[in-house]
Amino acid sequence: MTITQLFNSPVLSSIIVVLGTIALFQFIALLQRKLNAIWLQPMLMSILALIAILVWQDITFESYFSNSWLLNALLEPAVVALGFPLYQHLETITKQWKSILLVLLIGALFAITSSFIITMLLIGDYTIAVALSLKSITTPIAIAIAGQLDGNTAITAFAIILAGFFGALIGPRWLAFIQVKSPKAQGLAIGAASHAIGTATVSNISYEHAAYSSLALIVSAVITAITSPFIITFLASFF
């Protein structure tokens, strides 16, 4: 019996999809720890492996998605769980909220402005410029804003994935290389630039990393959602 045939049984196919996906992820995570290979990022490699399996067995993504409903249902509590480290460091964060807000504001404005201008200068396509200027915030917000501004939502989604994986793969080591060793600074940088994927990665380093990365993810998304329509509209008038 092939995998495709097993998908004809709703209950059995759901069990296979959920357990198989979890087993695949855990196997790659174990392999990464054993080999100490930074490029073996479990989330990225799991996605690539799943794509290969689906293509090989001629299984549609819609079929896989409908049978992985349990994993999708766990996404919401998983996101909420990211707030626990934030709660643990809430007292420290409230003492530094002005500095944190200022840093994240500057970072978000710079990311939007620089990405839009560079893309317009090099490519000259407004829809792509909008898409790339929103690459550093979480997917639902970025796609919604891109749609409102007539940006290319497909490129937006792809750019967000790349930003997330890039930050997860080399972000912590790059920050350490340039002598940014503070867990607070590393967390803020990864959360602001690489959103949920980066946050999930640095959460494995320490609770402090997780707290500040979660905070940066949330605040940067809010800042970008509020300011990006005005900034992009203003910058577009010069091109």
Predicted confidence (pLDDT) at residue 4 exceeds the cutoff of 60: no
Share of the chain above pLDDT 70, in %: 91
- Whose tokens are 């980066």? That residue is 198
Residues 6+ apart with CB under 8 A from 196: 79, 138, 164, 217
Question: Tokens for 183?
Answer: 């867990």
Q: Is the confidence at residue 93, as pLDDT, over 70?
A: yes
- Give the pLDDT band (50/70/90) at residue 153: confident
Helices (H), 152-182: 153-177
- Determine the pLDDT at residue 234: 93
pTM, rounded to two decimals: 0.73
Mean pLDDT of 103-131: 92
Could you give phi then psi for residue 150, rounded to 5 degrees? 60, 35
d(C-alpha 136, C-alpha 128), whole Å: 15
**Lookup: tokens for 129:** 């410029």
pLDDT band of 1, cuts 50, 70, 90: very low
Q: Domain residue spans in the chain? A: 3-73, 83-236
Mean pLDDT of the chain: 83
What mean pLDDT comes out for the span 151-158?
Answer: 86
- Higher local confidence (pLDDT), 185 or 161: 185
CA atoms within 13 Å, Cβ hemisphere of 86: 17
Q: 199 and 214 in contact (C-beta within 8 Å)? A: yes
CA distance 3 to 203: 35
Contact (CB, 8 A) for 208 and 79: no
Q: For 170-199, write each residue's pLDDT tens digit.
A: 888 888 888 888 888 888 999 888 877 788
* Per-residue pLDDT tens over the stretch 13-42: 777 888 888 898 889 888 888 887 767 777
Rounded distance between C-alpha atoms, residue 115 and residue 134, angstroms = 8
The answer, yes or no, to whether residue 114 has pLDDT greater than 90, is yes
Place of tokens 């409102």: 148
Of the pLDDT bands very low, low, confident and very high (cuts 50, 70, 90), residue 200 is confident
CA 181 remoteness from chain centre? 22
